[in-house]
Amino acid sequence: MSRSPTLTSRLARRLLPSILAAALAVPAWAAWADDHPSFAAPPAVAAPAWAGAYRWSLKMKGQTEPPFRLRLGFMALPDGEWSTTGSLLLDDAELGAHGSARLRAGKLVIDLIVSGGVRDVPPDPAKRALFPPGHVPERISSAGFATMRIELDPGRLDGIASMYMTNVVDGNRVQGPFYMDGTLTLDRQ
């Protein structure tokens, strides 16, 4: 004697296609927006509170290599601003970043200090050019810093960046100072 499926399992089989179709119809950006709070208004918190982490591609004007990667976490502050910390991943180094953010004139403005260096690595072409021909070391160390002003659309979190940077290599050879402009595109994954 065959047992008939229970009411629950029959109902589940009927509803499953509809549930799956509805879930697949939700745009990816809507799911992303649920996990990332808006920067449309200054934070209203009584004590520092986590406000989310974000990742951007940073393409500097004239840059031919793959874009840099900027990762920042934000803490909402009682004064209506945000504190931020994270890292900037270059082609040859990962640098620490910290700063502050605030809403000004309809933009999310982020001011960052970025610093770090590399130890005992083969020199890239830009660093090789700092040495006279025939005197390029096989390995170098360097340290540098940058200041950045970032202006983002507070809804989309895409925008522009201006950066002043300098880097000192073994033997007190200096790259920079440089000033560069670029664009930031938020990773929406």
Within a domain: residue 14? Answer: no
Q: Confirm whether 32 is domain-assigned.
A: no
Domain presence at residue 33:
no
List the alpha helices (DSSP H) in the chain: 7-25, 28-35, 125-128
User: What would the pLDDT profile of 151-167 be if each residue is shown by its tens digit?
Assistant: 999 999 999 999 999 99
- pLDDT category, 22, cuts 50, 70, 90? very low
DSSP 154: T
Distance between CA atoms of residues 103 and 78, nearest Å: 14
pLDDT at 5: 55
pLDDT tier, 65 (very low <50, low <70, confident <90, very high otherwise): confident
The percent of residues in the chain predicted with pLDDT above 70, rounded, is: 80
Where residue 64 falls among pLDDT bands split at 50, 70, 90?
confident
46-53 LR contacts (CB < 8 Å, sep 24+): 46/78, 47/78, 48/75, 48/76, 48/77, 48/78, 48/83, 49/75, 49/76, 50/74, 50/75, 50/76, 51/75, 51/76, 51/82, 53/86
Task: Tell me what the mean pLDDT of segment 69-83 comes to.
Answer: 97
- Is 11 part of any domain? no
pLDDT in tens, 114-143: 999 999 999 988 899 999 999 999 999 999
- Written as six digits, the tokens of 145 are 């810093």
Supply the CATH number for residue 167's domain.
2.40.128
Q: What is the pLDDT confidence band of residue 13, given thresholds at 50, 70 and 90?
A: low
- Both tokens assigned to 119: 């130890």
**Using 50, 70 and 90 to split pLDDT, how confident is the model at 37?**
low
Among 29-43, 68-82, 96-110, the least confident range:
29-43
Assigned domain for 97 exists: yes
| Strands 94-104, 82-89: pairing kind | antiparallel
From first CA to last CA, the distance across the chain in angstroms is 52
Distance (Å, whole) CA 59 – CA 88: 12
Tell me, yes or no, whether 177 lies in a domain: yes
How many structural domains comprise the chain? 1
pTM for this entry: 0.77
CB 36 within 8 A of CB 22: no
User: Is 136 contained in some domain?
Assistant: yes
Does the residue 40 lie in any domain?
no
Q: How confident is the model at residue 183 (pLDDT cuts 50, 70, 90)?
A: very high
Domain carrying residue 59: 52-186
Mean pLDDT of all residues belonging to the chain: 85
